[in-house]
A and B are shown apart, each in its own frame.
Chain A
Amino acid sequence: MTKRKDSDRTVLSSKMKLADLIDMNYNLLGVLSRFDMKFGFGEETVGEVCARYGVDTPTFILICNIYTFDSFVPSKELLDSVNVMDIVKYLHKSHSFYLDFSLRSLEESIEKMLEPCDGRHKQVIWKFFKDYKDELSKHFAYEENVVFPYVKSVVEFVQDPSFSILQYEENHTNVEEKLSDLKSIVMKYLPPQCDNQLINRVLLYIYILEDDLSKHTSIEDEILVPSVNHLEDKALLESKKGEEA
């Protein structure tokens, strides 16, 4: 029988030292950088650092929770208190991070790994990766150009009633499947002349990206979509009241 560790139950709080928070889950390093929070924060608490950077503390903690606990589902009260534009800002920063950093490192490491392969094999794998990258970039672009502006309009109460955030709940499965396929191909089927250390590095990059993207998706599906949907309902109710009056 497995015993639950007490650390599993620790609830993240604004009174924690930021350094302790990061030490508890180093995946939060990415979250810090996406909120432009710089190191050298000494003994400051989560709440103090958030205040200094103008980030809404409950929103920050909510994101950290999603990153830290696998099946974290925010309560309704928590969702109501969320600052939607901070979430959007975070998602936007994440997109830049994936494109400018994660995918670029992955691309460079794949290129290096494929060097000893014969031309045709190299080309086939390279094309598969490029197609994946294009698909992911397109997905991000859709969110940046369509979804985020819409969310902003909802927050500012000037939304276009013909669109709803629920339409946005399109699935991410295809991009996820492609990354997972890439992982299987790299791990199991590369020609023997590829360097083991380089394969290792590519796999690590893939795993890190895969994990991060899955948290990214959770933030969209578990926070952004329900909060915006809630705002939409509220706006609809207001407009009905207006008509009746």
Chain B
Amino acid sequence: MGDKKVLLIIPSAIVARGLESVMDNLGEFRSIGILSDISRTGGNRLRSFDADLIILDPQVLDCETRPSARAFISTLTDVPVVAMATIPLDDETLRQFDEVIGMFDDPTTIIRKLRSAMEARGEAPRAEGEELSAREKEILVCVAKGMLNKEIADLHNISIYTVITHRKNITRKTGIKTVAGLTVYALLNNLIDVNSFE
């Protein structure tokens, strides 16, 4: 089946069912599930859905998160994300999505937008695998040694922003969030010498 799998993150049952029926009628895209919220499910569950595309109502993000929605969502998934604009949103928020569906879009427009979101992303390089890269391992060692982001940035001559991105990816891949946990990881994987530590 060539159907693209779509995950809906939409609090309104009416809107979610409506989108499902549009996809059912026109084919090509197929809903694999509806979540009414993401705060509780967390990133692990989002990834486990194995969707090709996500349609998300920005309502599920709180106001503070919305302007940085892209950064937030990219910590959860690397598939294209289309906004379902059920409420008025500022341009800055909307710009972060691969496409934006409006409440009054007709079915063919909706499908066209989903298609264009997929295509735009298709050209981008695929995300690398789940193993830590050499660079991420270097950063991880610094974190485990208790270095601050600023110190790590200076040592490797990169921006703090890059350090933060690396740290996010490390956490996403390993599932470990705390510095203490990352230290255990580094020691178990012999990235740092236990004797040099402490």
Listed in ascending order, the chain A residues whose CB lies under 8 Å from chain B are 1-2, 70-71, 120-121, 124-125, 128, 131, 174, 177-178, 180-185, 188-191
The 6 closest A-B pairs by CB, nearest first: A181-B181, A184-B175, A120-B194, A177-B177, A181-B176, A124-B187
Which of these, A1, A174, A183, A189, contacts B188 with CB under 8 Å? A189
Which of these, B33, B176, B187, contacts A184 with CB under 8 Å? B176
Which of these, A2, A178, A191, contacts B181 with CB under 8 Å? A178
Provide the B151-186 mask, 1 if CB < 8 A to any CB of A, else 0: 000000000000000000000001111101101110
Q: A71-B40, A190-B188 are in contact. Are A1 and B178 (CB under 8 A)?
A: no
A191–B188 touching, CB < 8 Å:
yes
Which of these, B37, B180, B194, contacts A181 with CB under 8 Å? B180
For A71, the chain B residues whose CB sits under 8 A away are: 37, 40
B20 close to A (CB within 8 Å): yes
B48 close to A (CB within 8 Å): no
Residue on B nearest A178 in the bound complex, by CB: B178
B187–A185 touching, CB < 8 Å:
no
A174 and B179 CA atoms in complex are apart in Å by 11
CB distance from B49 to the nearest CB of A (A): 13
Give the secondary structure class of A's interface. helix
Residue on A nearest B185 in the bound complex, by CB: A189
Q: A2-B33, A70-B40 are in contact. Are A124 and B184 (CB under 8 A)?
A: yes
Q: How many A-B residue pairs have CB under 8 A?
A: 57
CB distance from A60 to the nearest CB of B (A): 25
User: What is the size category of the interface that chain B forms with chain A?
Assistant: 10 to 19
Residue on B nearest A181 in the bound complex, by CB: B181
Q: A2-B33, A71-B40 are in contact. Are A124 and B188 (CB under 8 A)?
A: yes
The residue in A124, A131, A177, A181 that gathers the most chain B C-beta atoms within 10 A of its C-beta is A181
For A180, the chain B residues whose CB sits under 8 A away are: 175, 177
CB distance from B186 to the nearest CB of A (A): 10
CB distance from A108 to the nearest CB of B (A): 20
Within 8 A of A (CB), among B80-121: none
A181–B188 touching, CB < 8 Å:
no
A182–B185 touching, CB < 8 Å:
no
For B177, the chain A residues whose CB sits under 8 A away are: 177, 180-181
A237 and B189 CA atoms in complex are apart in Å by 60
For B178, the chain A residues whose CB sits under 8 A away are: 174, 177-178, 181
Residue on B nearest A124 in the bound complex, by CB: B187
A232 and B188 CA atoms in complex are apart in Å by 50
A126 and B65 CA atoms in complex are apart in Å by 37
For B188, the chain A residues whose CB sits under 8 A away are: 121, 124-125, 185, 189-191
B180–A131 touching, CB < 8 Å:
yes
CB distance from B73 to the nearest CB of A (A): 20
CB distance from A216 to the nearest CB of B (A): 16
CB distance from B51 to the nearest CB of A (A): 15
CB distance from A131 to the nearest CB of B (A): 6
A188–B175 touching, CB < 8 Å:
yes
B181–A128 touching, CB < 8 Å:
yes
For A188, the chain B residues whose CB sits under 8 A away are: 174-175
